[in-house]
Amino acid sequence: MANQFDALLRRLSLKVTPKRLAILEILAAEPIYLTPEEVWTRMKRKSTRAGLPTVYRNLEELSACGILIKIVHPDRRLYYYFCPNDHHHHHFVCISCRKVEDLNFCGLDSIDREVRKSLKGAVVSHLMQVYGRCKECLAG
């Protein structure tokens, strides 16, 4: 199996195309949230040229089936995509270098309990992003 994502795509009955593999390789290579356009630029560098709409479509598809995580930038109206290697979806995002680090802490259990108890509602999903500066950016 030339590529680690080959089997993953097949399992999800998505065709294994050079574009899809390139996108996944780029995102798997750096633990950073990238915009569709940044992924596209990196593809050109790797001489896997693709149309921007293709990049958008694939990122959307791959995040829809759970391979990638998609977030919105809270200030600019942009989508960012990230390839997590584990299943923990809470991140510390450095506002300088955009590096992503995992947060071991997840307060969702307490939140779920709180919503159920005092609001009598039901939690469907949640979004938690913590922004700051990472160790390296604080030093530099």
Exactly one of 3, 8, 31, 60 binds DNA (CB under 7 A); that residue is 60
| Residue bearing tokens 């030339």 | 2
Interface residue with DNA, options 11, 77, 87, 117 (CB under 7 A): 77
Residue 25 or 60 having the CB closest to DNA: 60
Number of residues that bind DNA (CB under 7 A): 26
Q: Which is nearer to a second copy, 9 or 34 (CB)?
A: 34
Q: How far apart are CA 43 and CA 31, in angstroms?
A: 17
> How many residues appear in the chain?
140
Assigned token pair, 138: 């604080």
For residues 127 and 125, give the distance between their C-alpha atoms in angstroms, rounded to a whole number: 7
* Interaction between residue 69 and DNA (CB under 7 A): no
Q: Residue 89 touches which of DNA, a second copy, none (CB < 5 to 8 A by kind)?
A: none
Measured CA to CA in angstroms, residue 68 lies from 17, 27, 92, 117 at distances of: 17, 9, 17, 33
Q: Which does 134 bind (CB under 5 to 8 A by kind): a second copy, DNA, none?
A: a second copy
- Long-range own/partner contacts, residues 99-106 (CB < 8 A, 24 or more apart): 99/31, 99/32, 99/134, 99/136, 100/31, 100/32, 100/33, 101/31, 101/134, 103/130
Residues near a second copy (CB under 8 A) are 71-74, 77, 79, 92, 94-95, 101, 103-105, 107, 110-111, 114-115, 118-135, 137-138
Contact residues toward DNA (CB under 7 A) are 9-10, 14-20, 35-37, 49-54, 56-58, 60-61, 77-79
